Structure 1
Amino acid sequence: MSIKPLIGQPISRLEGHLKVTGAAKYAGEYNVSDLLYGYVVNSTITKGKIISMNSDEIKKIPGIIEIFTHENRPSLAWFDMQYSDMDAPPGSPFRPLHKPEIKYNGQPIALIVAETFELARYAASLLKAVYKEEKFSTHLQANLSKARKPQPGLATMLKPPPPKEKGNVDLAINAAAFTAKGDFTHGTEHHNPLELFATTTVYEGKGKVTIYDKTQGTINCQLYVGNVFGLHFKDVRVISPYVGGAFGAGLRPQYQLFLSVMAALELKRNVRVTLDRSQMFTFGHRPPTIQKTTFGSDVNGKITSLYHEAIGETSLHEDYTETVVNWAPMLYPSPNSKMEYNLVPLDVFTPIDMRAPGGCTGLHAIESTIDDLAHQAKIDPIKFRLINYADRDESVNRPYSSKELRACFIQGAEKFGWENRNPEPRSMRRGNKLVGYGMATGVWESMILPARAEAILTTEGRLIVKSAVTDIGTGTLTVMSQIAADELGLPLSMVSFEYGDSKMPFAPIQGGSFTVSTVGSAIKVAGEAMRKKLLKIAQRLPNSAFKGAELDNVVFQNGFIRLRLNLSKEISIKDLILANGGKPIKTKNFNVPNLLKLKKHSRAAHSAAFVEVEVDEELGIINVTRAVTAVAAGKIINPKTARSQILGGMVWSISKALREETISDHQFGKYMNQNLGEYHIPVHADIHDLDVIFVEEKDEIVNELGSKGIGEIGLVGMPPAIANAIFNATGKRINEFPIHFDKLL
């Protein structure tokens, strides 16, 4: 009797019980003996130089072990050279405690190591620095004249530059029957995952360390530590099985990792460094971005011209880029298009990828402008998009590997009740509330990177699969277990997925919505290699019914290998292990994507977001009362965890459009709301009726699984849908995110 395939089943998270009962250990929770605690001291100025610190005085406090500053930090192998990690942009990375120079407000200037956390924190409050301050500049809007093209670098492989200009945009705009334009601004955002950034470094002796770190890439941190501290990579082990959210903040090694390892190696002790909530605002962020759009169409709504310009913030020492302006030509073919992207270097820390980096920024401007254009042409927003629908990615002149966006429009509109929309602004009401309907399109590129996986069949017939990949709360453990189980036709109870350890086979950083496609494909390759080994063992048995059988001629079901055309001919996997001398059977395989095949097609997930808002006519208070997101993302491996990902993106959409922003005082070059009391994100009372539809989409090109990432696609389309709904409700088109009630008064 065969078992039902697990791929496509809504399996609950395998680690869920451990997390809700507190049994899952996070980076700052491991029980380590002889542990010292480090607390970071941050600069209180934005730019300048440290003249002196009262560290000698504080060292006299009983229980203080050491105070590390730029004056006494150890000499390091690559410290004075450029080094990089998997997510490093072009430039020279920030080096903690490198020199007395201050590059940004909140820069770490000292690490106090003490016998207890409380003592280290107390001593940090006493440490004072005398500075020589310099003039600084942190205001993007005030420095647009300094905008320039980004430096080229390896990052362009994953973040391509804008597409080439087509036609003549100015002439086309002048000749257009309808034109829509807008100036769009996005404020700074910080990731703020629930788990604080922490590193526990266990000193193993003789230059060996075991590191428990909050990260999205165990091997990335292993390479970083090995390179920076001159250690052999095999002597550096990074463990991170549970990550309490990251959203991109853990893609690069953060400074608490460096400080914890530095202190452990220098003191030859175990050291834990945990950042507090305010310190979570001192590294990486979604950069503020200013955009301009001008779109034109003919009298029938056919787009004739697209212009999109974006200017983003970066640091003075690295060129962080985002894919902001590339999306419009992917969605809307136009004979005339021009996309421009520039950076302004400022006295800030380098921005870092934050969920849907560039996509949720750019699509707000694009989809709001498209909505405006449809309104001017008096064409329904869905019909307008269908008039301009394309099965090819005109930005690179390639067909899509699959694209079921049309079905997203149709199914999403039906579920939402779009036909009840009155297109006239301020025409729908509930009591004193103005009601608005809005929709928008979402798109996110589907990528796949190289990865390795190991498969082991134990003597008991259990399948163990290993990968260094992390699980940042997305359900990776569960999904990879499902993929592995189906490879050998085993029940989930007979499969273990071991992960989150740099000693395991290579996996890239977890981000970009490419983890399932990347690591899952590696597991499929390892699974196929295991099936081949098992078939060979079966063929060597005396009087074997499997002699001459090809892999396609057999099936693996419920712990047995059977002939496809005669299922009564079978042998158990346990018997094959016995035939192997009772020894475990192992495979370790590297999956490298076929770039020649992939480059013939554009690969992307698509979505259509539908939103209803209520706006209090007197107070301007905005409430998202219900929303539907329809998603086309290839094969959905686990509808339950996938739905959670989309719902999370929808909640974040409400946050991005209406709540979330880090406020800067540019007189001081400082973020003013470095806490969760004033950094506003949605609470339960803000979230109402949210629904998700997965549109059926078959893709035989994107990867062996036919899957597309969904971590980002749930976020990119809904923020502009909210803005469009607010316009439908109020007649006001507000292009500044987040949208506050005062803009509606």
Structure 2
Amino acid sequence: MSNSTAYIGKQTNRVEGRAKVTGAAKYAAEFNAEGLAYGFVISSAVTKGKIVQINAEAALSVEGVLQVFTHENRPNLAWFDFKYKDQIAPPGSPFRPLYNNEIKYNGQPIALVVAETFELARYAATLVHVIYEIEPHETNLKEKQEEARGPKAGFLNLLKPLPPKPRGAAGKAFDNAPVRVLTEHVHGVEHHNPLELFATTVMRDIDGKLTIYDKTQGVPNSQLYVTQVFGLSNDDVRVLSPFVGGGFGSGLRPQYQLFMAVMAAIELKRSVRVSLTRQQMFTFGHRPTTLQWVALGASEEGKLEAVLHEAVSETSHFEDYTETIVNWSGSAYRCDNVKLDYKLVPLDMYTPMDMRAPGAATGVPALESAMDELAYKLGMDPVHLRLKNYAEYDQNTNKPFSSKELRECYRQGAERFGWANRNPVPGSMKDGRWLVGWGMAAGVWDAQQMPARAEAVLSIDGKLTVSSATADIGTGTYTIMTQIAAETFGLPLEDVTFKLGDSALPLAPVQGGSYTAASVGSAVKSTCEKLAKKLFSLAQKPKNSFFASVKWEEVELVDGHIQLRNDTSQKISFIEILRQGKKNGLQHKSTTMPNLLKQRKYTRHTHSAIFVEVKVDPDFGTVVVSRVVSAIAGGRILNPKTARSQILGGVVWGISKALEEESVVDHRFGRIVNHNLGEYHVPVNADIYDIDVIFVDEHDEIINPLGVKGLGEIGIVGVPAAIANAIFHATGKRIHELPITLDKVMSAMEGVTADEITV
């Protein structure tokens, strides 16, 4: 069977685009029900200690206030560890809102005020009086780094493997290397800050069944959480999330507003909505503070002889959150002597959480900055150094790559950027009074496939509906799944509908890790292929059918018809096949699993090469990223338009990570002080200039049936290093603490004029 209706690989507008720009798309806090009540969360004002007294009498006396839930009156629930888990819970004991009077971190939810209106609930929350017994807290990683320990074992650590064992004699090789670089890197807390605030609307029917609209990156995960905690069956709980206003990892785990809303709905026997404020968006998972040390030793010809990479990161006292920060340094370049180490320090903060390219966005920039420094010590072009140490296979695992077109990324990216025109001397390139710097870096991220299910239904009118309980957090999932289904089944795009974000649909993994296109896409393709075979079998059944003696390989599905490949005049419409077979429709549901026997023999990665131009004001230290070229080797590109948007978003966030984003913790109080979008800086239009995206052709038959690799995270990975390297080229000064704010640039350049910059 073949199909000449080609949609995969074509630029296609978002199928949900009109709904989003017209306001027809509804988000978790926009679904209404008769008699809906509103909850407002009260957050802890201290970082560690106990609640001695919580007095809600004044709040309860306000007309319209329905209840104030605290640890003293919350229902008795299934709080045991073995029941209270979600799909990506790290080792440890998950946080339980309102569990007892203990305060584990600043901003912890300690009460929920429920009232007839949101404004009333928020006002009543100010009337709740809380007395604390305060205990000393620890939130400063630098002060506690000597107490670092290895991560605890757990299922999540199997998905995020700990550093591989050392190979060779890295320490000795480094000591004996003629050219050496030793760098220290500091990375502070960052918060996800999607545009849509976290909210949950719980609609309770007269039978006690719950329909829940939740901001989440995986409705099955939220359903699993609710059924476990509240002892309900799947039939009693349906979770929907048709549209998500950004997530970036913050919606991978259920957040506490889900618990609060469900608890209140059950106890009050009515529908309830709980929405968090922007300030409260800073009271759960974040990218963790991390300290890193990278040591590189090389021969005078530039061959790497030693790689050492150590990281110390924060976690909470109740869970061990891990990231693959250092692992990339063992496989990114060819080197026989490698030692990688990763440790954790428990602090009095909430458990960190996956944030776009977790681990890689922290560890790879440190490695790539060190590689740039090594290139300067060697007097070698940074691209040439990387090519000289190009890894043809993964030395961490001794496995080949399923595909790797990074060489071509270097070539095409450098050519598009004009890298050959670079003057390598720092401070030598200027634009008027601005110092101009050119920098580059490589990027790498996992390319994985997870089990996923999908269902396809062909109706009597010839329309196809395909569904899976996946999510679309803005990545274009609605569109690419529609493209896959339309091409596979031979229908126009307008005759195909893809449904997602509903726990009643076939099971799918959470949308994260850049594996949705590969996982759910493969399930959609497989399900549509099997439904097409069912339809063909139905077409063969009539005694007078022309297709009775025709083989499946001899037909194709085109424009709602099955037809002979070699004689397109011999065809029959899908509608006619259903009528002849006396069917009102046809459906198929199937599960797609990764081909582990095939895939486990290879390392599966997405790669990138990023080239950046910055302009630095020598007097004020301001940095402008004036030009970026990002070359991506991401397998088969399903939709160049949405794919480009993913890389653009990643580059913008890389700029933000390098120059702006920082959650500032006042360690005296253990509190994040810039918990708003006025002081937590993210890029605006004026910060972003030219971004050029190149998709390098890459064919991969190992990765999955579609040959696709995820693009959501690779876009950010190497960008901070490329910017830091460009700043060095402009100023001659290395800054290894992110974000590189103007005060750090000015401090580094103190007493140096633009004419005095030298290496």
TM-score > 0.5 by shorter chain: yes
Deviations 1:245-268 (A, max 9, x none): 010000000000000000000000
CA distance in 1, matches of 2:581, 2:256: 49
CA distance in 2, matches of 1:278, 1:78: 27
Deviations 1:599-622 (A, max 9, x none): 011111100000000001111111
The alpha carbon displacement at 1:4 in A equals: 4.1
CA distance in 2, matches of 1:72, 1:202: 22
| SS of residue paired to 1:172 | helix
The two structures have a TM-score, normalised by structure 2, of 0.97
CA distance in 1, matches of 2:745, 2:62: 56
CA distance in 2, matches of 1:400, 1:547: 45
- C-alpha distance 90-80 of structure 1, shift in aligned 2 (>3 A): closer
Partner of 1:449: 450
CA distance in 2, matches of 1:705, 1:78: 42
The alpha carbon displacement at 1:19 in A equals: 1.0
CA distance in 1, matches of 2:578, 2:256: 48
Partner of 1:483: 484
Summarize the alignment of residues 460-499 of structure 1 with structure 2, pairs less than 5 Å apart.
460-499=461-500
Partner of 1:341: 342
Residue 380 of structure 2 corresponds to residue 403 of structure 1: no
What letter matches 1:721 in structure 2? A
Residue 385 of structure 2 corresponds to residue 384 of structure 1: yes
Conserved? CA contact 1:2–1:558, under 8 Å = no
Summarize the alignment of residues 537-686 of structure 1 with structure 2, pairs less than 5 Å apart.
537-686=538-687
CA distance in 2, matches of 1:188, 1:156: 22
CA distance in 2, matches of 1:393, 1:541: 56
Q: Which runs of 5+ in 2 are unaligned?
A: 747-759
Deviations 1:214-266 (A, max 9, x none): 00000000010001000001110001010000100000000000000000000
Conserved? CA contact 2:57–2:128, under 8 Å = no
Greater mean deviation of Cα atoms: 43-52 or 326-335: 326-335
Residue 107 of structure 2 corresponds to residue 106 of structure 1: yes
Conserved? CA contact 1:78–1:230, under 8 Å = no
The alpha carbon displacement at 1:365 in A equals: 0.5
Greater mean deviation of Cα atoms: 264-273 or 551-560: 551-560
Summarize the alignment of residues 20-59 of structure 1 with structure 2, pairs less than 5 Å apart.
20-59=21-60
The alpha carbon displacement at 1:82 in A equals: 5.3
The alpha carbon displacement at 1:579 in A equals: 2.4
Deviations 1:294-326 (A, max 9, x none): 011112111111100001100000000011001
Number of corresponding residues: 745
Greater mean deviation of Cα atoms: 720-729 or 82-91: 82-91
The alpha carbon displacement at 1:553 in A equals: 2.4
| SS of residue paired to 1:654 | helix
Conserved? CA contact 1:82–1:92, under 8 Å = no
Deviations 1:74-105 (A, max 9, x none): 01134576521111000000000000000000
Please, what is the CA RMSD of the aligned residues?
Answer: 1.2
Conserved? CA contact 1:188–1:661, under 8 Å = yes
Partner of 2:71: 70
CA distance in 1, matches of 2:67, 2:171: 64
The alpha carbon displacement at 1:548 in A equals: 4.4
CA distance in 2, matches of 1:122, 1:239: 30
CA distance in 2, matches of 1:550, 1:214: 47
Partner of 2:753: none
CA distance in 2, matches of 1:433, 1:506: 54
The alpha carbon displacement at 1:390 in A equals: 2.0
Deviations 1:548-585 (A, max 9, x none): 44433221111111222333322211111112213210
Partner of 1:416: 417
| SS of residue paired to 1:547 | helix
Residue 256 of structure 2 corresponds to residue 255 of structure 1: yes
What letter matches 1:304 in structure 2? E
Conserved? CA contact 2:189–2:286, under 8 Å = yes
CA distance in 1, matches of 2:582, 2:236: 34
- C-alpha distance 532-608 of structure 1, shift in aligned 2 (>3 A): same
The alpha carbon displacement at 1:740 in A equals: 1.3
Partner of 1:536: 537
What letter matches 2:497 in structure 1? S
Partner of 1:508: 509
Deviations 1:336-359 (A, max 9, x none): 000000000011000010001011
CA distance in 2, matches of 1:295, 1:425: 21
Q: Percent identity?
A: 56
| SS of residue paired to 1:644 | helix
Q: Which runs of 5+ in 1 are unaligned?
A: none
Conserved? CA contact 1:436–1:725, under 8 Å = yes
Summarize the alignment of residues 63-462 of structure 1 with structure 2, pairs less than 5 Å apart.
63-78=64-79, 83-462=84-463
CA distance in 1, matches of 2:522, 2:690: 35
| SS of residue paired to 1:28 | helix
Greater mean deviation of Cα atoms: 564-573 or 15-24: 564-573
- C-alpha distance 323-544 of structure 1, shift in aligned 2 (>3 A): same
Conserved? CA contact 1:40–1:110, under 8 Å = yes
The alpha carbon displacement at 1:505 in A equals: 0.4
Greater mean deviation of Cα atoms: 12-21 or 353-362: 12-21
Greater mean deviation of Cα atoms: 254-263 or 528-537: 528-537
